Amino acid sequence: MERIVFLERNTIQAEFRRPDFDHKWIEYPETFADQVVERARPATIIISNKLSLGEPQLSDVPDLKLIAIAATGSDCVDLDYFRSRRIAVCNVRGYAANSVPEHVLMMILTLRRNLIAYRRDVQNGLWIKSKQFCLLTHELHDIRNATLGIIGYGSIGKAMARLGEAVNMRVLISERKNARVVREGRVPFEKVLRESDVISLHCPLTDKTRDLFGRGEFEMMKHTALLINTARGALIEDAALIDALKNRLIAGAGVDALREEPPVNGSPLLDHNLPNLIVTPHVAWASNEAVQALADQVIENIEAFIAGTPRSLLT
């Protein structure tokens, strides 16, 4: 009988049907780092989300066969270690292909139309004092014919490209930074930075993408451009982003991910009252529809593994 241990049940607000095979289901609302070793020990299958999992946590789990990540990102899991132990790791894919691009579009429109600034002006009574029927205190820009640069072209990046094209944006798909060869349909990374009115990040966090955007990248961008990050906080150097916003190297930014989540020790991006920065609490993925699709796919991945037809494998 399989023993499934769900270490972070409360991170996924959806219904999880039980797998269609003989098993024991154990779940914990949340698990802290010092609790992983004890709670994981009886597992043959672990469901996790953001916990760090590797040799220090799971070396004493003798019957472990599978780690089912209830997310797409795998940067919390030591894939090399599990590969060496022949423990399978799978993730979920494509479940947020609607919710994340819609969140990005919301951020783009909010910044291009200066929505937050206008809301503040109305609340502060400026419209009442206006000498004309409208209040034009901030610039307004359309998104039609603006150039959208997409960095990271997995399922969400592809969905973002389709949405951009649907609202008549010109879409550029970036090649990897420092790539020697530009693949068909891709555009050199530096060219994307120089030509885009909006850049949207959809790449995973790896050693090659960590601090992908620093001072040099912001200096290449248009002064009127926006940067949107709904992927991982560590893709951007926080200090460089703050400097770019303060000194108008770029016009604005929207981020849905920080380096530490939750930011219990604070974050430079939360310490500055910047009118051209929007921070949301890692919720781009979390529409009701997307979260349920994620939960369903986790169980389908586990069932496929037990049936001998594994899918979405990372190891």
Question: Is 144 known to be catalytic?
Answer: no
Number of neighbouring beta carbons within 10 Å of residue 239 = 12
Question: Is 232 known to be catalytic?
Answer: yes
221 secondary structure, DSSP code:
S
Note whether 76 and 51 are within 8 A (CB). Answer: yes
Residue of 307, 149, 125, 269 lying closest to 217 (CA atoms): 149
Alpha carbon 184 to chain centroid, angstroms? 26
| Catalytic one of 3, 9, 141, 282 | 282
Residue of 116, 152, 96, 155 lying closest to 284 (CA atoms): 96
| Catalytic one of 103, 232, 237, 259 | 232
CA distance 67 to 65: 7
Alpha carbon 146 to chain centroid, angstroms? 23
Which residue pairs from 206-211 have beta carbons closer than 8 angstroms and sit at least 24 positions apart in sequence?
Answer: 206/75, 208/176, 208/177, 209/177, 209/235, 210/234, 210/235, 211/235, 211/236, 211/237
| Catalytic one of 261, 272, 289, 311 | 261
Question: Is 282 known to be catalytic?
Answer: yes
Angle (CA) 211-117-225 rounded to 5° is: 40
Q: Provide φ and ψ at 36, rounded to 5°.
A: -60, -50
Q: Which value, to the nearest 10 degrees, does the dihedral of the CA atoms of residues 68, 73, 77, 79 take? A: 90
Q: Which residues pair with 201 in a beta bridge?
A: 151, 229
Tell me which H or E stretch contains 119. helix 115-123
So which residues are the catalytic ones? 232, 261, 282
